[in-house]
Amino acid sequence: MMNVKPLKGMRCRAERAIIGHKGIVKANTEGTIQHVIDNLDRRLINVEWDNGVTMYAFPDEVEIQQKEEALVPVCGRMTEAQPMTELLGVKIAINP
């Protein structure tokens, strides 16, 4: 299981309605990423949504809101880095 800490605190929005056991997150609802994990070969993003619901979403269900793309180490080596989008498979909205 991998926890990607650089995403903690980043803002995101729901690409479409997300239905989970804790409720429904409507499309375009914004939230704050709490953490990202790999569980049973699935990447999950835990988000505290602005509507008060905190639940996991798949990477294709969210778009990260940020000004520039973050880099993370590959295989724990700081000399190699790749864009966060490649690592997580999420969309990045570049805001001016």
What is the structure's pLDDT at 27? 94
What is the structure's pLDDT at 64? 85
pLDDT along the chain (96 residues), means of 10: 65 92 92 88 91 92 70 45 50 51
What is the structure's pLDDT at 51? 92
Rounded to 5 degrees, what angle do the CA atoms 4, 83, 64 make?
65
What is the structure's pLDDT at 61? 92
How far separated are the first and last CA of the chain, in Å rounded? 34
Domain ranges of the chain: 5-94
| Helix, strand, coil shares, percent, the chain, to 5 | 10, 55, 35
The CATH classification number of 5-94 equals: 2.30.30
Rounded alpha-carbon distances, angstroms, from residue 57 to 86, 90, 94: 17, 11, 21
| Structural contact between residues 44 and 57, judged by C-beta atoms closer than 8 angstroms | yes
